Structure 1
Amino acid sequence: MYSNNAARVMKRNDRRPLSIAWHLAMWYALLSSVLIIAFGVVMYSALKEQMRSDDDQVLVGKIAELRAILSQRGRDYSRLREEIERESATSPATYLRVQDAKGTVIAETGGSIAKHLSGMPNRPEAGTADSGFDWIAGDGNAYRIMSSHLVLGQSFTVLAAMDRSDDEKLLATFWRSLSFVGFLAVTMAVALGYGIARKGLRPVFKLADIVEQLDVHRLSHRVDEESWPEELRPLAHKFDNLLSRLEASFSRLSQFSADIAHELRTPLQILGGEAELTLTRPASMEGYRACIESAADEYERLSRMVDALLFLAHSEQPDAHIERQMLDAKQEVMAVFDFYQAMADEQGITLTCLGEGTILADSALLRRSLSNLVANALRHTPDCGQITVEIQPQPERAITLIVRDTGHGIPPEDLPRVLERFYRADAPRSREAQGAGSGLGLAIVQSIMHLHGGTISIRSEINRGTAVTLAFPSTPAAG
């Protein structure tokens, strides 16, 4: 039992949904069916009422003739019987009957119709001389009956009936014809609706062809939204935006991969070269020790580079989360200064913190960004220089940190690109004692500011120094 139900569920889930063209065609056919049926019902009802009205007019005329005869002849019923017999001969589908106040039949239409209408109800109250009612006789035929109560010296009841068999046949024929025409109309509506829908969806198929032809080497292709229908222009516009983002992402990824390969190749070549040199010729213990120390420096540099790359990759994840808390900005700056104080003293560089304030940030990430900026400033500031971190509370933002140095500065042509990964304004890629120069420090600072919803900006003048401004928001960024 369970397996049968599971099989039915799987079979139902495997069914492919109908295409949009078929959906539009079905809705178009449904709308057409409703309109055609409504039109047919209205036309059928109007025709039926018109035929009843015509029958009532005929019956009203018959009753009026009998009333005139009764009013002129008094108790002489011969003229009345002659008129009824004449009507029976000329209109065999019409039945007339006149009764007195006691219910005695004075005159009546003869023939087969009288036999079929022998049980006709005598209901003067059901209709006047202006309206009648329908009745089904024992032979199954439909009749229109009208009765009238006349007072002409004495009371008379006049009943007039008309066989509506021909009317019913005409209505049935009309309904069958209308049904056939409606079926043809609905069939044509389905076919035409499907064709119109397919033609209307042709731009969507064109978009599918464009998507199918796209690959990494054709991301520069764009959809001309001006040539699209009004309803699809937003889709074309968003698709172009998507292609632009994909092209930019692939371009950055390709550049990033090339930079990684270039950066990793240098330390690996150094490690390999020193190892081969050591193995190809005898060396003293001091020589082996120097080779191992050099390798250790390169391993440390590689480790820092991998750590930085992992941090950048994690910071770009949509679910990246940081722990914000209110921090003493000056205390955080002094903690970073304490770490670099020995290096600064060795170079004769003064570290200064100005201003105070609180900042809503992640402590570890804040210190890492400040550490990267201070370390970068130490590398590019000559001896006896100065590095200053200024804390400035702002009205629209919680706080702004400005890291200034009196270093060499950044050339104007390099300034727009210094935040890119692996980009360095000082072109020579030398091995320094501190293992710096990977070109990821400012990129990491920028990622940290994005995580906080803040911004980073850089101003620099050649031989006068550089100022890096970190602006933190007063509240956590949404998302």
Structure 2
Amino acid sequence: MRRMSLSARLTATFVAITAACFILVGWLLYRAAEQRIYEQDETNLVLSARHIRRFVAELGSVDDLKAHQDRVTISVLGDPSNALRIVDGAGRIVVDHNAMGYRLDIQSVVPTDQRIVSSMLRTWHDDRGLPIRGVAVVGQLQDGARVTIVVARSLADREVLLRRYGRDMALRLLAGMLAAILLSYVLVRRALRPLHSMATDAATIHAQSLHTRLSAGNAPAELHALSGALNDMLDRLENGFARVWQFTVDLAHDLRTPIGNLRGTNEVALTRPRTSAEYQALLGSNIEECDRVSRTIESVLFLARADNPQFALQRVTLDVEAELERIADYFEGVASEARVAIEISGGATIDADRELFRRAVGNLLSNALRYTPPEQVIKLVAGEANGTVTVAVENPGAGIPAEHLEKLFDRFYRVDRSRSDSASSTGLGLSIVKSIMELHGGRVTVESQLRGITRFVLWFPARRTS
């Protein structure tokens, strides 16, 4: 099923609200007009009944009433819908003004000592089904005789008037709704024109034009917020594409070198017969290059898994000092060969993944061993303060220029790509350290002084309590 467009939905919403308001206002106006008309008729009936009863009270007898019936009927003259009937005590009609021949009901009458009010009016229907509203009251002549006065009015003409008024109002409401539909659609389309323009611009953006940004122009503030959010998303996508592209280029470069070395040494070896010792040396060199490729691939796979939100940590409670002792023992042979000492101080307890913790500290220690001069000391320092556990790896050396510090944790980044020992590193060690810390909800920082101390610090959150 085809979905409604935003323009159609907004138009339908506006029209529904407008129609509801029109209908409510129309109904209120109709009820007000109906009430006003009927109130006026009731007031006229009550005043006529009062006037006639007072006039009857001034007459001496029924004969005087007959003689002055013109003065009595003057109260209801001028409107053929009005009717008047006066009946004496014997049930004889004394005065009768009923041009339309309505059936007048005199079953319930108002006594002479009771004031006539609108609530005493009654409504009934005659034999033709016409609605009649009126009141029957008792009047007393001066000779003591009593007569029944019935004043009434047909409501048929009022109902016809109200029906005509309701029909006219309904037609006008329908015309207003049609106009509202047309104007709402035009205005909504015009208001959404910047959104259509943004959608058109967005459709032209692809991988080769991620630098393009959306412009809201003179659009409403809400679209400016949407445009800003989309542009921020495009910034992130562009940065992500740039990082992926650079990562791919760096990965290809790092893999091309060992693969080229493997091919080159094998081609040289095949140019002429070699001795068994030469072939053994060649195979040893090939294994070293294969190890380098394996390390690079394993590091790339780890970073890919770490970027997955579903990566699960196996958190356990770790004694940081004991773990640093184990890591130092593991690197003891390499440190002895480099004539570098490893010194451990401090202690703390954290909840972390044991293997990832060892890998992060091991990567930092491996870097420190690579760049620490002989006869120097690398310090592993653990501490806890302000709810945070820190593990620092400090080593003396040439130091790192300040302009490189912010990029150290980028993938495949090296301060000096021409270093002779760059082949022993994949350029991913510090990136892995950063990913491990982010998985633990922590961070890694670095401080370095030229020809001084370089200090990497792992910041772990304090232990979680049950």
Query: Please, what TM-score do these two structures have when normalized by structure 1?
Result: 0.88
1:326 counterpart = 2:317: yes
Tell me which residue corresponds to 1:56.
42
1:259-274 counterparts in 2 under 5 A? Answer: 259-274=250-265
3-state SS of paired residue (2:402): coil
Q: Indicate how the Cα distance of structure 1 residues 57 and 421 shifts in structure 2: closer, same or farther if over 3 A, else same.
A: closer
Shift in CA distance, 409/89, structure 1 to aligned 2, threshold 3 Å: closer
- Tell me what 2:358 maps to: 367
1:424 to 372, 393, 414: 414
| Post-superposition CA distance 1:215-262 (Å, at most 9, x none) | 223222334568442223332222222111111111111110110010
Once the two structures are overlaid, the 10-residue window that deviates more, 85-94 or 346-355, is 85-94
Distance 1:155 1:78, change over 3 A: closer
Match of 2:153 among 153, 157, 162: 162
Mean Cα displacement is larger for which, 86-95 or 288-297?
Answer: 86-95
Residue matched to 1:4: none
Distance (whole Å) between structure 1 residues aligned to residue 48 and residue 368 of structure 2? 119
Residues 97 and 160 of structure 1 are in contact (CA less than 8 Å); yes or no, is this contact kept in structure 2?
yes
Deviations 1:394-424 (A, max 9, x none): 2331x21111112332233333322111111
Q: Deviations over 1:310-335 (max 9, x none)?
A: 11111111222212222111111111
Specify which of 413, 416, 438 is matched with residue 450 of structure 1.
438
Structure 1 stretch 409-418 or stretch 270-279: which is displaced more? 409-418
- Equivalent residue, structure 2, for 1:147: 136
1:412 to 398, 402, 408: 402
C-alpha distance in 2 between matches for 1:86 and 1:355:
118
TM-score scaled by structure 2? Answer: 0.90
- Is the CA contact 2:315–2:353 (under 8 Å) kept in the aligned structure 1? yes
Cα distance in 2 for residues equivalent to 1:86 and 1:470: 109
Shift of 1:441: 1.0
Alpha-carbon distance between aligned partners in 2 of 1:199 and 1:226, rounded to the nearest angstrom:
14
Q: Match for 1:387: what amino acid?
A: I
Q: CA deviation at 1:17?
A: 2.6
Partner Cα separation in structure 2 for residue 388 and residue 335 of structure 1: 14
Spell out, residue by residue over 1:101-153, the C-alpha distance to the aligned partner (whole angstroms, 9 max, x if none): 45443332355x33x416x3532259974433333222132323222222332
Q: Which residue of 1 aligns with 2:367?
A: 376
Q: Gaps (5+ residues) in structure 2?
A: none
Question: Are 1:45 and 2:43 an aligned pair?
Answer: no
For these two proteins, the number of residue pairs brought into alignment is 457
Out of 56-65 and 129-138, give the one that drifted further: 56-65
Contact 2:198 2:215 in 1 (8 A): no
Closer/same/farther in 2, CA of residues 230 and 475 from structure 1, 3 Å limit: farther
Where structure 1 has 5 or more consecutive residues not aligned to the other structure, the ranges are: 1-14
Kindly tell me: are residues 164 and 415 of structure 1, through their superposed partners in 2, closer, same or farther at Cα, counting changes over 3 Å?
Answer: closer
Distance 1:325 1:369 in 2: 16
Of 123, 133, 157, the match for 2:108: 123
2:198/2:216 contact within 8 Å kept: no
By how many angstroms is 1:296 displaced?
A: 0.8
Shift of the 175–338 alpha-carbon distance from structure 1 to 2, 3 Å rule, reads: same
Aligned to 2:58, the other structure's residue is in SS state: helix
Provide the residue aligned with 2:81 in structure 1. Answer: 93
Percent sequence identity is 30
Q: Is the 8 A contact 2:18 2:177 kept in 1?
A: yes
Residue 181 (1) aligns with residue 176 (2): no
Equivalent residue, structure 2, for 1:472: 460
Deviation of 1:50 after TM superposition, in Å, equals 2.4
- Contact residue 82 and residue 98 of structure 2 kept, 8 A: no
1:89/1:268 CA distance change after superposition, 3 Å? closer
Superposed, 1:319-358 pairs within 5 Å as 319-358=310-349
Q: 1:66 aligns with which of 39, 52, 65?
A: 52
Answer whether contact 1:84 1:109 (CA < 8 A) is retained: no
Distance 2:443 2:267 in 1: 47
Give the structure 1 partner of residue 449 of structure 2.
461
Contact kept, 8 Å, 1:382 with 1:407, in 2: the verdict is yes
Letter in 2 for 1:168: E
Q: Is the 8 A contact 1:404 1:466 kept in 2?
A: yes
Which stretch has the larger CA shift, 422-431 or 237-246? 422-431
Partners of 1:439 and 1:340 lie apart in 2 by 20
CA RMSD between the two structures: 2.6
Secondary structure, counterpart of 1:413 in structure 2: helix
Change (3 A) 1:90 1:344: closer
Residue range with higher mean Cα deviation, 99-108 or 358-367 = 99-108
Give the letter for the 2:291 counterpart.
E
The offset of 1:174, in angstroms, is: 0.8
Other structure's SS at 2:392 match: strand
The letter for the 2-side match of 1:281 is R
SS of the residue corresponding to residue 276 of structure 1 reads helix
How far residue 352 of structure 1 moved from its aligned partner, in angstroms, is: 1.1
Contact kept? 1:456, 1:468, Cα under 8 Å: yes
Deviation at 1:180, TM superposition (A): 0.5
Residue 440 to residue 190, structure 1, CA distance change in 2 (3 Å): same
Q: 1:286 to 1:54 in 2, by over 3 A?
A: same
Q: Which residue of 1 aligns with 2:393?
A: 403
Query: Take 1:58 and 1:341, find their aligned partners in 2: how far apart are those partners?
Result: 117
Alpha-carbon shift at residue 448 of structure 1 (Å): 1.0
1:65: how far off?
5.0
SS of 1:280's equivalent in the other structure is: coil
1:84 shift after superposition:
6.4
Contact kept, 8 Å, 1:88 with 1:110, in 2: the verdict is no
- Is the Cα contact below 8 Å between 1:128 and 1:148 reproduced in 2? no
- Code of the aligned partner of 1:177: D
Cα distance in 2 between the residues matched to 1:392 and 1:87:
109
Match of 1:206 among 191, 197, 201: 197
Contact 1:56 1:130 in 2 (8 A): no
Q: Give 1:372 deviation, angstroms.
A: 0.9
1:225–1:452 Cα change, 3 Å: farther
Secondary structure of 1:352's aligned partner: strand
Q: What is the CA–CA distance in structure 2 between the aligned matches of 1:65 and 1:144, rounded to whole Å?
A: 18
Partner-residue secondary structure (3-state), 1:33: helix
Letter in 2 for 1:266: T
Take 1:48 and 1:38, find their aligned partners in 2: how far apart are those partners? 15
In 2, Cα distance between the equivalents of 1:447 and 1:88?
A: 100
Task: Determine the structure 2 residue equivalent to 1:6.
Answer: none
Paired residues of 1:128 and 1:147 also in contact (CA < 8 A):
no
State how far apart, in whole Å, the 2-side matches of 1:175 and 1:324 are: 77
Moved over 6 A (4+): 84-89
Give the Å deviation of 1:68. 4.7
Over 3 Å counting, the alpha-carbon distance change for 1:243 and 1:374 in structure 2 is: same
Query: What's 2:4 paired with?
Result: 18
Tell me the CA shift for residue 341 of structure 1: 0.7
- The verdict on how the C-alpha distance between 1:174 and 1:366 changes in structure 2, with shifts beyond 3 A counting, is same
Structure 2 CA distance, aligned partners of 1:188 and 1:421?
A: 63
